[in-house]
Amino acid sequence: MDAKPIEILLVEDNEADAELALHALRKSKLANHIHRVQDGEEALDFLFCRGPYSARSFDNAPQLILLDLKLPKIDGLQVLQQIKTDARTRAIPVIILTSSKEERDMASGYQSGVNSYIQKPVNFADFQDVVRQLGMYWLLINSKPPASAFGRA
Amino acid sequence: MNFLEQAFGSGDYMPHGYCYLWNAHLVWLHVVSDSLIALSYFAIPVLLLWFVRKRRDLPFHWMFVLFGVFIVACGATHVMEVWNLWHADYWLSGGIKAITAAASVSTAGLLAYVAPKVLSLQGLDQLVQAKSSLEQEISDLRNDELRSLLREAAYRDQAALLDITHDAILVRDLQSKITYWNRGAAILYGWSREEAGGRISHELLSTVFPAPVSEIEAQVLSTGSWDGELIHRKRDGSTIIVSSRWALETDDSSKPIAILESNRDITGSRRAEKRFENLLESAPDAMVIVNHAGQIALVNSQTEKLFGYERKELIGQAVEILVPASRRSAHVGHRSGYSQAPHPREMGEGLDLHGRRKDGTEFPVEISLSPLETEDGTLISSAIRDISKRREATEKIRNLNSSLQHKIDELNAVTSEMESFSYSVSHDLRAPLRHIDGFARILKEEHAAELSPEADRYLTRVIDAANRMGTLIDDLLSLGRVGRREMTLGRVSLDDLVRQSMADLPPGTENRVIEWRIEPLGEAPCDSGLLKLVFSNLLSNAVKFTRTRQAAVIEVGICKIKGTPAYFVRDNGVGFDSKYADKLFGVFQRLHSQQDFEGTGVGLATVRRIIQRHGGKIWAESELDRGATFLFTLAATPGPSAPQEAEVFKSNGR
């Protein structure tokens, strides 16, 4: 279906948020291949190569997942748990990008193994800055996990 | 040596058995016969010895001893006969026979010497006969005078004995004339024997009788005795109560001759009883005193009131009359069990005890039991308290508690609603703000060419409004969090908190001249995170409101107000009109315009909330344009109350 390597998977149900995030990412000129899914179920289908994404391969895992918490069907924390408890997806860095800065959300996120937790600033200039920094860090500075980290040869 | 060998060695002689040619029957005949003779001979002196020891009076008792020795010696010769059947110790046997011979000859000789003397002794029978004839002679003396002499002699003999007792004992004739007066009477009443003798006893003692004296005397004459209490007047004029016992003396023809009166002073114990009764009456509880048989011996007036019986209806009744019918049989068992080992205790602990009134109604009681040692044995004293009122009060408290619990549940429900509300505020209300800001900014920055200057200015307004609302939401959420957060109290260095707060001050003070006067504050029991918020808010306010000053002065210090440490933050800023002081700490309350001093009006509300949670107070003093001082205390009584408060908030928290 999509043979190009996906750099970022954006899990975001809100159109406006999605558009702003994509805008910010594009402006930072860091990622060209971004895939957006609209809810938790679609995110899991995409990552586990099933349902509409059954043609995908685990070899083509995204380099980074930007995950909203409040999602229809399956919420962000559950998506996170499934990613982090499965050996095939566990190594993918996941960043929670959400409006909420509730302590319990942060605590459950970190307990489930999230790699980073970022509250979306109201101010779009700040948001753009955050997106630029995290893209810089996770896509350029950080060494991505080797294939063996996914249990593949 | 030679002799010993002859005596104990067998020598060259043959054992005697050879003489019987070892005929088994013959040998055994000798063995058994000699053994029995020896045994009997040995038994006889033992019996004789016992007899002599018992009868020390026996004349010539040395004769019996000698006779005993003689018989023992005879027994020994028979033992030797048996021995020599198998051993040939004939020398030893001969020696023993020689001793026996000596004893026999001496006994025979002495017997011959003693026999005539024994014959001269009178027999026991003769003695007995003499005694009975003498008694006959005495009983023959049927003489009144002699008998009365004897009786007087008996009195004299007993007088010493009667003088030992503490009781007053007097004997009076039928005309009440005193004929005998013991030492006890002299001591008790104060008149000597000589003074009292011949006086009429009732007159001397001014006796007050419990019944007409004629009735009492009639009873003594008919039954021979009387018991009762009398009141007597002593020589010194004081009156005493005596327990009196009268006994009639008669002669052999049952004719009354005198009355013996024994009196014991019971004034003291009567008073003690009276005191005890007063004590019983003054007890707040119904007191029921029961004897070992479970009969009511004594009650107080509270008992009458509580149970509706009159005293006389209760005395002598089984105590179960006061117990509900359904519990009576069980009570009898419990009661006798308690009487076995009485000790003070609560009755039926943990049980619902009930009393029963005369009208049959029942009421809850609490009973404590204790044993009471008296002259009449151990009595059981029970204090009975009507606890209906207390029951009602307990019931009321229970109801109050449950309605309180209900309120708490409601409050918890509201709190959890508040939490989900603030969660959705945090999450959902911020999203549209981000969108407004985001798209307005994209318009402004990336489509600037298409915008008129006015449109650009409006977009700036939109962006400012969105950001301001974002700040408001953040502050409100922080206020909510301050109220809900669990407090962890510890000893915290306030100086550290002040230092941290100063380091965290919002940017923009770099170019300002601010003189900080920081006094050491020491430690206080508080939640460090929350107290840090207090200092951050107060210090940033001070910085903000001194912005218009050339040289800002901000002081942090500690003072004492009514013995409680109060901490203060003082500035020389614009201050406020003190008539608005009460509005200062309200949510969204602001005393300055947004143009002059930006702010949300949530900061001081948050501060007040934190101080209240610590059990303290916060207030501010100021005059317009002359600076402001914010003062706060922590727990009014630091220490014990602080953790308790933490407890309360914990239970009200999430």
Instruction: Say how far apart CA B361 and CA A53 lie, in whole Å.
Output: 84
Instruction: Say how far apart CA B437 and CA B556 lie, in whole Å.
Output: 39
Do B321 and B173 reside in the same domain of the chain? no
A10 to chain B, closest Cα gap in Å: 17
Contact B41, B74 (CB under 8 A): yes
Sign of the alpha-carbon dihedral angle for B476, B481, B483, B484:
positive
Are the beta carbons of A14 and B431 separated by less than 8 Å?
yes
Q: Which two tokens stand for residue B77?
A: 């010769």
If DSSP codes are grouped into helix, strand and coil, which group holds residue B589?
A: coil
Domain that holds residue B244: 165-265
User: What is the predicted ipTM?
Assistant: 0.79
Interface of B with A in 462-481 (CB under 8 A): 466-467, 469-470
Do B246 and B308 reside in the same domain of the chain? no
Do B529 and B646 reside in the same domain of the chain? yes
Give the pLDDT score at A11: 94
Are the beta carbons of B442 and A70 separated by less than 8 Å?
no
Instruction: Say how far apart CA B123 and CA B126 lie, in whole Å.
Output: 5
B431 to chain A, closest Cα gap in Å: 7
Beta bridge partners of B518: B556
Interface of A with B in 36-65 (CB under 8 A): none
Listed by start position, the domains of chain A span 8-140
pTM: 0.45
Instruction: Note the maximum CA span of chain B.
Output: 179
CATH number for position B301: 3.30.450.20
Beta bridge partners of B379: B372
Report CA Rg, chain B: 59
Measured between CA atoms, the residue of chain B closest to residue A14 is B431
> Is B420's Cβ below 8 Å from some Cβ in A?
no
**Structural domain contains residue B129:** no
Do B418 and B367 reside in the same domain of the chain? no
From the list B427, B438, B467, the residue facing A20 with the nearest CB is B438
Are the beta carbons of A17 and B470 separated by less than 8 Å?
no
Under the banding of pLDDT at 50, 70 and 90, the label for residue A1 is very low
Q: Which residues of A touch B470 (CB under 8 A)?
A: 122-123
Highest mean predicted confidence (pLDDT) among B94-98, B306-310, B373-377, B423-427: B306-310
Among B370, B386, B402, the domain-final residue is B386
> What is the overall mean pLDDT for chain B?
82
A82 to chain B, closest Cα gap in Å: 23
Residue B313: how many CB atoms within 10 A of its CB?
A: 15
Beta bridge partners of A95: A66, A116
Residue type (1 letter), B167:
D
Do B524 and B636 reside in the same domain of the chain? yes
Q: Which two tokens stand for residue B468?
A: 């301001």
Are the beta carbons of B437 and A124 separated by less than 8 Å?
yes
Residue A50: how many CB atoms within 10 A of its CB?
A: 11
**Structural domain contains residue B543:** yes
Mutate to test the interface with A, among B427, B428, B436, B447 (most CBs of A within 10 A): B427
**Structural domain contains residue B134:** no
Which 8-state DSSP code applies to residue A78? H
> Is B431's Cβ below 8 Å from some Cβ in A?
yes
B516 to chain A, closest Cα gap in Å: 33
The 10s digit of each residue's pLDDT in B235-284 is 998 888 899 999 888 887 888 888 888 998 888 888 887 888 888 888 88
CB contacts < 8 A (A, B): 56
Among B386, B409, B440, the domain-final residue is B386
Do B404 and B330 reside in the same domain of the chain? no
Under the banding of pLDDT at 50, 70 and 90, the label for residue B58 is low
Q: How far is CA B383 from the centre of its chain?
A: 16
CATH number for position B498: 3.30.565.10
Residue type (1 letter), B335:
R
Among B341, B360, B386, the domain-final residue is B386
Do B558 and B631 reside in the same domain of the chain? yes
**Structural domain contains residue B146:** no
Instruction: Say how far apart CA B394 and CA B520 lie, in whole Å.
Output: 52
The 10s digit of each residue's pLDDT in B614-625 is 889 999 988 888
**Structural domain contains residue B138:** no
Tokens 């049989």 -> residue: B329
The 10s digit of each residue's pLDDT in B204-236 is 998 988 888 888 888 888 888 898 889 899 999
Do B375 and B430 reside in the same domain of the chain? no
> Is A99's Cβ below 8 Å from some Cβ in B?
yes
Q: Which fold has domain A8-140?
A: Rossmann fold (3.40.50)
Instruction: Say how far apart CA B469 and CA B334 lie, in whole Å.
Output: 78
Instruction: Say how far apart CA B154 and CA B149 lie, in whole Å.
Output: 9
Give the DSSP letter string of A7-69. Answer: -EEEE---HHHHHHHHHHHHHHT--S-EEEESSHHHHHHHHTT-GGGTT--GGG--SEEEE-S
Is residue B140's pLDDT more than 70? no
Do B642 and B508 reside in the same domain of the chain? yes
Is residue B131's pLDDT more than 50? yes
The 10s digit of each residue's pLDDT in A81-119 is 999 999 899 999 999 998 877 788 899 999 999 999 998
From the list A16, A99, A121, the residue facing B427 with the nearest CB is A99
**Structural domain contains residue B202:** yes
Do B181 and B116 reside in the same domain of the chain? no
Mutate to test the interface with B, among A22, A122, A131 (most CBs of B within 10 A): A122
**Structural domain contains residue B135:** no
**Structural domain contains residue B54:** yes
| Count of structural domains, chain B | 5
Share of chain B above pLDDT 90, in %: 19
Contact B267, B240 (CB under 8 A): yes
Which of the pair, B582 or B529, is modelled with greater confidence? B529
